[in-house]
Amino acid sequence: MTLKKITNLIITLLLFVGVWGAGGLVIDEIQTGNGCPKIWIIPACLIILICFLIPLIVHLLKRYTPLYFIFTGLAASIAIIASIMQYTGNGSCPKLDGGTPMCYLSFILFTTLIILKITNHKPKTQK
């Protein structure tokens, strides 16, 4: 198996893990109305779920790569801001059972996805 195929598999697995995690928060938000913080009136976990779903679809189709970077970049930006707010005490992210804020994990996950895609993506050369 080539490095490119392994990287593609890792990206796919990470995106599925993200969809699963964010999807769980969205379900909790729908059931309780208190599953995740809001950005204006939109639950942040819904935005993050979309930012996992669109890159997953783009990655599986192997097309529209700029959308991958737009949505993972948006989510990484949200995760950076949420992590800073969590760290300074100006906000609160949903936490895992062990107490780890999910915004920290989201930041790591989206940063990893961006780095993996950059290293794996070879733009088509123009003739």
In order of 68, 75, 86, the CA distances from 113 in angstroms are 9, 11, 22
Residue 9 lies in a domain: no
pTM: 0.83
Residue 86 lies in a domain: yes
Residue 14 lies in a domain: no
N-to-C CA span, the chain: 30
pLDDT digit string (tens) for 36-90?
A: 878 888 888 888 899 999 999 999 998 888 899 999 999 999 899 889 988 998 8
pLDDT digit string (tens) for 101-111?
A: 888 888 999 99
Residue 40 lies in a domain: yes
Residue 7 lies in a domain: no
CB atoms within 10 A of CB 8: 18
46, 127 contact by CB (below 8 A): no
CB atoms within 10 A of CB 79: 24
Residue 11 lies in a domain: no
3 state SS of 39: strand
Residue 8 lies in a domain: no
Tally of structural domains, the chain = 1
Find how far residue 100's CA is from the centre of its chain. Answer: 17
Residue 126 pLDDT exceeds 70 = no
**Res 123: pLDDT:** 60
Residue 113 lies in a domain: yes
More confidently predicted of 51 and 30 = 51
Supply the mean pLDDT for the chain. 86
Instruction: Provide the residue range defining the domain that includes 101.
Output: 23-120
More confidently predicted of 122 and 37 = 37
DSSP percent split of the chain into helix, strand, coil, nearest 5: 70, 5, 25
Can you spell out the DSSP letters for 43-60? EHHHHHHHHHHHHHHHHH
